Structure formats: structure tokens, C-alpha cells
DNA sequence: ACATTAAGTGATT
DNA sequence: AATCACTTAATGT
């Protein structure tokens, strides 16, 4: 499916338009590529990280988890992006407050934390990249807060489906009602009922393990 | 054919 | 909107 590319090419393709050449050279030198599979947990609550992850291909979902192991989806990280929470967790050597799970087979680039400070001083594009990342995460987080506070669950569910479809580039969503309920921190029965309503309204079509959106 | 898992439903809070 | 208790449907072995 994919042509075989060198690490060099992969990094240039994914980040070349964002970062300056000298920095890219350093990244190629110290960065480690890692492929992750669908549903692989990349970072768990309580974990500590010594590496900063950047998503090159694919997408990652970031969620919060309570003591009972119940989750709540916070935001997604797409190609070319990194996670501000993880950065913070890295430099301060504290344990993670969040959980990161891959939503599809993805390719990640890990960069040792030690480089952070040096690069912050040395490269303007790195500073901008990190600041931009913070900004994007915060914006998305606020969007999620708005959804939880102001939207009804059926609206939130529809938004979830549309977001999911946009992110994965397909109107077919391969998730069980149970999984959706977990991400939205609701219960399976409730989600099943709301999905049924959406189907009656013609917005979606329900199959086993699969939901098909009529449109985005 | 049987077991397992996903999804649907009525009643109750 | 959540939970319980149960049914029905789809799928794997």
C-alpha cells in the first residue's frame, strides 16, 4: 500500500512545511519512528514519558480517565501535530494526566525531551510549532467543554460521529455502541437509543459494529 | 449446534 | 439520562 520511504523522506514529508531545515536534520538524527496499531494505548494515566511524540501519519485520541477507569474523550491529534499535555508532562517529569490511544494504524515520531530546551532557544519554527500546538489543543478542549456543558447528548453524539468521519476520512464508522458510550462517558443503552433515533431521522444507518453517516 | 458478543426494549428511578 | 433485566440478532468456533 505505501511506497517504501526512508526515515528521512517520511520526516520531511510530514514536517517539512512546518520546520526549518537545520531542525529537520536534527530531528532525523535523534528522532525515533514507531508504528502503532489501531487501539494501541500509547500513553496511560500515570505513565511518565521521556520522549515527545509527534503524529506523522494517522490519528490519536486523547482522553481523561477517572479512578473507576471510566473515560471521557478530550480531543484528537492528527498528522503533523503533537500533544501539549505530554510536553508539559515530559519537561516537568510528572506523570501523565491523560490517556492516548491510536484510532487507526499510525506512525509516530519520538523525540528525546533533552532536545526541547535547546531547540526552543535555537529554532524559531520549533517555538512556533510548540506554541501553535498549545493553542490548538486549548481550542479543541474548549470545544469539548462547550459540547459537554451546552449540548444535549444526541447533539453531542452526532458531533462525535461527524468528527470521527472527518478524521478518518470515511462515512463508515467502525465502532460499537459500547465504545461510543465510553468515549462520551455515557451508557451503552442510552447511546443505542439515541442512535436509533438518528437512524429514524435518516441521518445514519446502523449495522453491527458499524455506523454509516448519510453525510458529514 | 452452541457460546459469545452486539444491539434492542420495557420498566423503573 | 441512567440502570436493570431481559430479548433478539449476528458472529465465531
Chain B nucleotides with an atom closer than 7 Å to a protein C-beta: 6-10
Q: SS in 3 state form for A46-65?
A: CCCCCEEEEEEECEEEEEEE
Nearest residue to C1, CA vs C1'? A190
A154 CB less than 7 Å from any atom of strand C? yes
> What are the pLDDT digits (tens) for A85-96?
777 777 777 888
The pTM of this model reads 0.92
CB of A187 nearer than 7 A to strand C = yes
Angle between helices A84-91 and A124-150 (to 10 degrees): 120
Q: Which residue is nearest to nucleotide C4 (CA to C1')?
A: A189
Domains and CATH numbers, chain A: 2-149 (2.60.120.10), 152-213 (1.10.10.10)
Residue A27: which of A8, A42, A13 has the closest Cα? A8
Q: Would you state the pLDDT for residue A3?
A: 57
Per-chain mean pLDDT for chain A: 92
What's the mean pLDDT in A152-174?
96
> What are the pLDDT digits (tens) for A166-214?
999 999 999 999 999 999 999 999 999 999 999 999 999 999 999 999 9
User: Can you give the pLDDT at residue A178?
Assistant: 96
Q: Which DSSP symbol is given to A95?
A: P
Amino acid at each position: 500500500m505505501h511506497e517504501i520511504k526512508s526515515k528521512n523522506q517520511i520526516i520531511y514529508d510530514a514536517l517539512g512545511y512546518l520546520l526549518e531545515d537545520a531542525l529537520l536534520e536534527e530531528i532525523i538524527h535523534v528522532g525515533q519512528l514507531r508504528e502503532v496499531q489501531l487501539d494501541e494505548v500509547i500513553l496511560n494515566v500515570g505513565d511518565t514519558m521521556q520522549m515527545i511524540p509527534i503524529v506523522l501519519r494517522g490519528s490519536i485520541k486523547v482522553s481523561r480517565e477517572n479512578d473507576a477507569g471510566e473515560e471521557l474523550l478530550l480531543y484528537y491529534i492528527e498528522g503533523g501535530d503533537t500533544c501539549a499535555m505530554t510536553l508539559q508532562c515530559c519537561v516537568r517529569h510528572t506523570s501523565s494526566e491523560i490517556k492516548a490511544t491510536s484510532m487507526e494504524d499510525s506512525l509516530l515520531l519520538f523525540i528525546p525531551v533533552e532536545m526541547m530546551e535547546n531547540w526552543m532557544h535555537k529554532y524559531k519554527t520549533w517555538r512556533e510549532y510548540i506554541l501553535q500546538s498549545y493553542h490548538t489543543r486549548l481550542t479543541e478542549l474548549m470545544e469539548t467543554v462547550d459540547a459537554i456543558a451546552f449540548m444535549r447528548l444526541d447533539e453531542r453524539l452526532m458531533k462525535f460521529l461527524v468528527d470521527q468521519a472527518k478524521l478518518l476520512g470515511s462515512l463508515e464508522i467502525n465502532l460499537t455502541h459500547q465504545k461510543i458510550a465510553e468515549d462520551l462517558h455515557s451508557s451503552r443503552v442510552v447511546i443505542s437509543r439515541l442512535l436509533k433515533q438518528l437512524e429514524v431521522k435518516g441521518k445514519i444507518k446502523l449495522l453491527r459494529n458499524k455506523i454509516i453517516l448519510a453525510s458529514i
